[in-house]
Amino acid sequence: MIKRLPIACAITVGLFSLSSLALAYDADWKRGRVYYRSVCTACHAAQAGGSIAPSTMTKAQWASYLQADKHAKGKDSMKQYVSKAYRASIRSQNKAAEKFAEVADDELFEDVKAFVIKGAKDGEAPATCS
């Protein structure tokens, strides 16, 4: 039976890899742009004393910020603001939340991440809020 262990392990690893491959997601920076501008920027401009342009931070700073997942100086989570629950709570007033209501949380988070990294100060296309 011990001889079958490597085979079983190989099949197991293979299937796990296959499943993660099937789930691999190619982030859509344009969808991230729409959500960032319509939700993040709109809320920050109206309630948080001004918008935050992607170009205000470097790619490394954005990556670190998103990895830490701390919003409002750690008061809450970044990811909650791209979650389906949050989108559901604002969809009646926010067209982007309405349009992307059914997008998976992780996908939308990756979309936003792709946009801010791309629009970072040292990104491919530094993006302002206008």
Partner 1 sequence: MSARILRRIATEWSGGLLLAALLVGGSALASEPPPVRLDSTADHSKYKELQQEFASGPELTKVCLSCHTEAAKQVHRTKHWTWDFLNPENQQRLGKKNVINNFCISVPSNYAFCTSCHVGYGWKDASFDFTAEENVDCLVCHDTTGSYRKLPGLAGHPPYKDVEIPPGSGKIAKAVDLSRVAQKVGKTSRDTCGACHFFGGGGDGVKHGDMDSSLASPDKEVDVHMDATGLDFTCGTCHKTASHDVPGSRYTPVGKDKGGAHMRGKEDKSNPATCQACHGLSPHKDSGMAAKLNHHTDKIACQTCHIPAIARGGVATKMSWDWSTAGRLTPDGKPMIKKDDKGRVIYDSKKGDFTLGENVVPEYAWFNGKVSYTLLGDKIENIEGVTHINKLGGSATDGESLIWPMKVFRGAQPFDAVNKTLVTPHTAGNDDTAYWKNFGWEKAIETGMKVAGADFSGKVGFIKTDMSWPITHMVAPKEKALGCSECHTRGGRLDAIDGVYIPGRDANRLVNLIGWIVAGGTLAAVALHGLIRIVRRPR
Q: How far apart are the first and last CA of the chain?
A: 66
d(CA 86, CA 14): 36
> Residue 124 interacts with partner 1 (CB under 8 A)?
yes
> Residue 80 interacts with partner 1 (CB under 8 A)?
no
> Residue 93 interacts with partner 1 (CB under 8 A)?
no
For residues 33 and 113, which CB has a smaller minimum distance to partner 1 in the complex? Answer: 33
Q: What's the min distance (Å) between Cβ of 71 and partner 1?
A: 22
- Give the residue, chosen from 59, 79, 84, 99, that forms a contact with partner 1 under the rule CB under 8 A: 99
CA 115 to chain centre: 9
> Residue 10 interacts with partner 1 (CB under 8 A)?
no
Tell me the Ramachandran region of residue 43: left when phi exceeds 0, alpha when psi lies from -120 to 50, beta otherwise: alpha
> Residue 29 interacts with partner 1 (CB under 8 A)?
yes
- Give the residue, chosen from 22, 47, 73, 102, that forms a contact with partner 1 under the rule CB under 8 A: 22
Q: Is residue 126 within 8 Å of 120, Cβ to Cβ? A: yes
